[in-house]
Amino acid sequence: MMGSRAGVHVAHALLLLLLVGSQTSLLAISAKTFNKEKWSLPGEGRDVLCSRTRNFAGSPEQRAAIVEWTNAVPATELTEDSPVLMQANESRMRYVIHLAETNPLAIVIIPSCTPSHGGEIRWTVVQNETDILASNNALNKSYYIVPCASRGTYHIWVEITDIYCEAEISYNTRSLVDLWPLLNRTSVSAIKVHQHPRRHQLLVKWEKSKFDIHAMHYCLAISRDHPQRTLCQALGNSQYGSRCGVSMTETLQRISIEEEKKVPMDALTTIACTGIRTKQLLKGMKANTTYFLDVFAVHTQKNNLSYLLGTATVHVNRTRPTQLFEGKLFVGKLSTLGGLSLFSFKVPKRSPSNTTLKLLITPCSGTVNLEILRKKRLIMKPILDIYYPRVITVGSVVPGERYLIQVSEADEHYRTNRIQIAVTTKDEFANLPQLPVNTTVAELTQLRTCHATTIAWYSSPDKRKIRYCTYIFKQHTKHQYYSNIKMPSYCELESRDIYQHPQLQQMHCIFSDQINHTDLMPKSMSISNLAPAHYYLIFVTASLGNGRSLPYRSARIKTHPYCREGDSSVATPTINQQQTRFRNVSVFKKQHHQQPYQPRGNSSINMLKSGGLPKQHQQLMIERRNNRLKRDNK
């Protein structure tokens, strides 16, 4: 019977605190949780509480009383939710509560005296044997509640002055939110974390509370030692904690809203309040460290009632370099490491002193930047805005030294998920073909019709037998621009799923055995069976036949919207391999720097001029011109 009475008293006491308040009416407090206005209430707040307790414990009489009780009265430890009955013959007792974490604390004293005798039960709460927090008569006040008590040891002195009285002492650390009847309607929110190790940052996102969505604000707790169960515990473990406890209302108003929160290296727990926002950027994250992230929802219309909305654990990875091996193609992921990928390559010790390093890099999509370091120092200027396959030559590398290759996203708004990279110290890659300096694929606009077109590219200077493959993908028209069909990237051309792509129209492969390896020989291919007034994305790849292929730069073409007379009657071969050398050889000069961006289409490259066309193409154009003249004369 006594235990049930204690539970009823505790519940009523906590509800009384929620609705009325301990010293001032909480209902009179405005629910402006995160505004920048500062106000104070009499008897509430950390500074007022600390000053009051110092005055109580500062007098010699109070200090002497604490020492006398500690030495004379043995201690009895209390267990949460386990009431202890103090008999009438026990005139003086000292009960101890060990609070390991900052939590709500409710101490309940239930007196039981004979009605015919006016007994008296005096009780006092002492914190850490130094501060007297409260001193009351149990017949007048039978509970002591701190909404957010700091960690430490609490002593309860109980003195009975009448043999006809006894008392029951108990405590609990349950939060007020446990008594909230609508707590079961709340749901857990998933927390998404995006790492940016290169910048020592974390971007944390979560979903809004499903309950009272317009009244909820949010606070994020970042801890390194353990997760936080309540917002009270998180505030107590942060810089806002105090030996006198935490005033939730005052503390939440002191925390300013910041879009970017700096996490101190020496702080075990950091609090970041976001208001109504559901994301927070954290800076200053330490590498190789595990962080516990806890998001709390704060009800601004329920006296800052808070509950745990979601939790996550994240380990900040150190971007360890991936070791590259001679002549092998590696795939690096940039999305999982915050737009950064590191590679390392050790030059063989037995390499000649004049060894050069060839680096092949292919962004699957998007644009990347490249830096090459030796002993944490750049050995060449950073190469910026690489958006197509490139071969970079590094001269005079040191045998036995390790070089660090850092690839990063050039544009944060356009994600580059993957890259392909290979490195060699030889003249050519063992299992990869050698690409020309200029990897542009151009369209011969003079031969464009409504159903066909002709493309050309520079052949590989490789001495081995090369296989060229072309992939033709049909792009959407303006009316189909918002379709969700994704076009393939450079790295997806070797996937088996590429043949199931809904936009793949044609694929052709030819073999070429280069005769004169010193001259750059062109390759051209006529593509027919195209639709009028449509855009097409064309990829050209080169491979050794049984190994991995390397892509040329993609080309985008558009067929004529109207078919002219004779377009359908002209028989164009499906594959037309040309061995005629281009007259405009200035384009084929070796370029050791990246060429400026040139728009694709008719002006993508002036690679072929009318004088450099094959004779049969010249005759075809003459016939078309004569046909137009005949129609005009009619």
Each residue of 148-165: pLDDT tens digit? 888 888 988 888 877 778
Nearest to residue 447, comparing CAs of 579, 584, 614?
A: 614
Taking phi over 0 as left and psi of -120 to 50 as alpha, with beta for the rest, 545 belongs to left
Residue that wins the pLDDT comparison between 377 and 242: 377
Mean pLDDT of the chain: 75
Residue 327 CA to its chain's centroid (Å): 33
> Which residues is 271 bridged to in the sheet?
221
Element (H, E) at 11: helix 2-19
Could you please state the CATH topology (level 3) that the domain comprising 441-558 is classified under: Immunoglobulin-like (2.60.40)
pLDDT > 70 fraction of the chain, expressed in percent and rounded: 72
Lowest-pLDDT choice from 472-481, 588-597, 604-613: 588-597
The per-residue pLDDT for 134 is: 81
**Angle in degrees, CA 616, 619, 620, rounded to 5:** 85
**Domain 191-316, what fold?**
Immunoglobulin-like (2.60.40)
CB 240 within 8 A of CB 232: no
Which two three-digit tokens encode residue 96? 């101890």
Task: With CA atoms as reference, report the closest residue to 53 among 45, 530, 170.
Answer: 45
What residue segments make up the domains of the chain, in order of their start?
60-173, 191-316, 322-424, 441-558
Average pLDDT over residues 250-259: 85
Residue that wins the pLDDT comparison between 132 and 216: 216
Q: Let me know: does 85 contact 166? Beta carbons within 8 Å.
A: yes
**pLDDT of 559 strictly over 80:** yes
Q: How would you class 476 by CB atoms within 10 Å of its CB: exposed for 0-12, middle for 13-18, buried for 19 or more?
A: middle
156/205 Cα distance (integer angstroms): 44
Q: State residue 350's pLDDT score.
A: 86
pLDDT of amino acid 595? 40
**322-424 and 441-558: identical CATH topology:** no
Fold of 322-424: Jelly Rolls (2.60.120)
- What local confidence, expressed as pLDDT, does residue 39 receive? 25
Residue 427: Cβ within 10 Å count: 9
Token pair of 552 as six digits: 């040329």
Question: Per-residue pLDDT tens for 67-119?
Answer: 878 787 888 888 888 888 888 778 888 899 998 888 888 888 888 877 656 66
Query: Quick check: 175 pLDDT over 80?
Result: no
339: three-class secondary structure by DSSP = coil
Residue partners of 584: CB distance under 8 A and separation at least 6: 606, 607, 608, 609, 612
Does the structure show a pLDDT above 90 at 218? yes
Tell me the pLDDT band of 47, cut-offs 50, 70 and 90.
Answer: very low
Highest CATH level, class, for 60-173? mainly beta
Residue 586: per-residue pLDDT: 29
- Please give the Cα distance from 241 to 232 (Å, whole number): 9
pLDDT at 471 over 90: yes
pLDDT for res 243: 64
Collapsed DSSP state (helix, strand, coil) of residue 184: helix
Q: What's the pTM value of the predicted model, to 2 decimals? A: 0.51
Q: Each residue of 263-306: pLDDT tens digit?
A: 988 888 999 999 999 999 998 888 888 999 999 999 888 777 88
pLDDT at 442 (0 to 100): 93
Of 32-36, 214-218, 485-489, the poorest mean pLDDT is in 32-36
